[in-house]
Amino acid sequence: MSRRDAPGAGAGPADRDESPLDWLRRRRDKAGEPLLDDAAFEAGERLRRDFTIAGLMPRTTMNWDGLAGGAERRGGGAGAALTIGEAALAARGRFEAAIAAVGPELSGILIDVCCFLKGLSEVERERQWPARSAKLMLLTALHVLARHYGLGPATGPATTRLRHWGSDGYRPTA
């Protein structure tokens, strides 16, 4: 059992079959490759986790969180842990930054599929899109989101050039 599937493991859905991203990740294209690569999957999961921690899901019942009293801390660290409110505020900031980076054209499908766990056919029906168009839009949005998070393979000169903080003639001594 993975940490993600463990009871009380955080903001994940209780059933793996619930998540449209898990469904897409298990599907293969004509070449036998997964429809959703690891970077896109992780980006979608990170967005959903921040959405959940930020408490952005519409409530259907009374919110009793404010009645707990005091500033309750998460974890047992001495002053290192964030309060629940601070963690929610930080998650909301990360969520809003990610949505802004993706842009208004692609953010809607990310929120519907990753956060509200709507199926692709449901999104197509609600938005009156042609069949199988939601998959293309979602994959595009997830790749833009993965780029925002810095996920995916490293490219460019930074991957080949050695970088260090010492000056040119610096050599460590024993």
Render pLDDT for 56-103 as a digit per residue (tens, 0 to 9): 887 666 666 655 555 454 455 555 566 888 889 999 999 999 999 999
Question: Residue 61: which residues within 8 A CB-CB, separation 6 or more?
Answer: none
Domain count, the chain: 1
Instruction: Kindly state the average pLDDT of the residues 21-44.
Output: 91
Structural domain contains residue 158: no
Q: What Å distances lie between residue 151 and 5, 46, 69, 135, 157, CA to CA?
A: 22, 11, 39, 20, 17
Structural tokens at position 5: 């599937």
Structural domain contains residue 164: no
Structural domain contains residue 34: yes
pLDDT at residue 159 is higher than 80:
no
Q: Are 109 and 138 in contact (CB under 8 A)?
A: yes
pLDDT computed for residue 7 by the predictor:
38
Q: Which domain holds residue 129?
A: 16-58+82-151
Structural domain contains residue 172: no
- pLDDT averaged over the chain? 79
Structural domain contains residue 32: yes
Return the SS3 of 34: strand
d(CA 59, CA 144): 29
pLDDT computed for residue 85 by the predictor:
86
CA angle 106, 19, 109 (to 5 degrees): 10
pTM of the model: 0.69
Structural domain contains residue 1: no
Least confident of 63-77, 97-111, 159-173: 63-77
